[in-house]
Amino acid sequence: MDDRSSIEIFLNHCAIERGLAKNTLSSYRRDLEKFLNYLNQNQKKISSITPSDVAAFLHALREAKLNESSIARNAVALRSLFAFLAKESGGESIAKEILVPRSAKRLPKALSIDQIAKLINSCADDLSGIRDRAILELLYATGARVSEIIALNRSDISQNNQEGVEAITIKVRGKGGKERLVPVGSYARLALDQYLTRSRPIFAKNLKEEALFLNEKRGTRLSRQSAWQIVTDAAKRSGLDEAISPHGFRHSFATHLLDGGADIRVVQELLGHASVTTTQIYTLVTIDKLRESYASAHPRSK
């Protein structure tokens, strides 16, 4: 079996047996393609690779000015590949000898509440703008990833009445197919109602289409790229110079909840994090804010 076939079998295993997300699989494929090119250039085969060869490959990535987080991701992909191949063949694995570079923990960039409001309020009142507002409101109201928002179906919205107040929850499908229920606040609920009554019936070319958010021209499910463009366009209209991404809404959701006193375990559940350790990075953001406030306000802080 040649090296490319080995990699394809591994990727199929990741997709079918491990159920890895589509974006993760795409990253693995890109990283392993780099490794395959490196092997071809150096006339090497996967079957004869040593930990020193892997270290040389990672050094080559560093020489090519790849950032440390990307290099670490390449190392993780290779560890997984060699662990899988060893298990399949019954041979020795070099996976444990592949060292994953430790990248510096970067604090997520959270937008201010005013910036979030500017982005949302920049949407027009036409049919597309009503849809775009609903998407931005949901990104901020739920902390969902953009891929999770565009994957929503109409049946994922649940309405119920709590003590005379209409409440909405949405079922979000996260990484690994895990589902979670997330409540939706009044602003997002109103924007969603507007979209469902005014825009979606016009966009829908097929009454059986289950996708919640539709492309206005084709009437099919909105793509991830289109959702990104909606956020990018909103940032331009709002005059926000910094790079704004859909993930910025997720960071802001978590940071603002913790700033407001929400329990970290609740935030973990809402974000769909498997471990609270992942959620704890947001506490570093709030601690930094406390330090800044202390330094600027306390007479003996300096």
The alpha carbon of 262 is separated from its chain's Cα centroid by a whole number of angstroms, namely: 22
273 is an active site residue = yes
Phi-psi region of 172 (alpha: psi -120 to 50; beta: other; left: phi over 0): beta
Q: Token pair for residue 259?
A: 């700033």
Q: Is 282 marked active-site?
A: yes
Q: 144 and 182 in contact (C-beta within 8 Å)? A: yes
Cβ atoms of residues 269 and 143 within 8 Å: no
Both structure tokens of 231: 């956020």
Task: Determine the 3-state secondary structure of 180 from DSSP.
Answer: strand
Residue from 175, 198, 224, 237 carrying the catalytic annotation? 175
13 is catalytic: no
Could you give the angle at the alpha carbon of 286 between the alpha carbons of 283 and 290, nearest 5°? Answer: 135
Tokens of 50: 């040593």
* Closest among 97, 101, 95 to 82, alpha carbons compared: 95
CB 265 within 8 A of CB 234: no
What b/e string do you get for 250-270 counting C-beta neighbours within 10 Å, with b at 16 or more?
bbbbbbbbbeeeeebeebbeb
The reply to whether 247 belongs to the active site is: yes
Which entry of 133, 221, 251, 273 is annotated as an active-site residue?
273
Q: Which of 145, 200, 221, 251 is catalytic?
A: 145
Cα dihedral 211, 238, 189, 209, rounded to 10, equals: -10
Question: One of 73, 133, 221, 250 is an active-site residue; which one?
Answer: 250
Helix (H, G, I), strand (E, B) or coil at 66: coil
End-to-end CA distance of the chain: 66
Catalytic residues: 145, 175, 247, 250, 273, 282
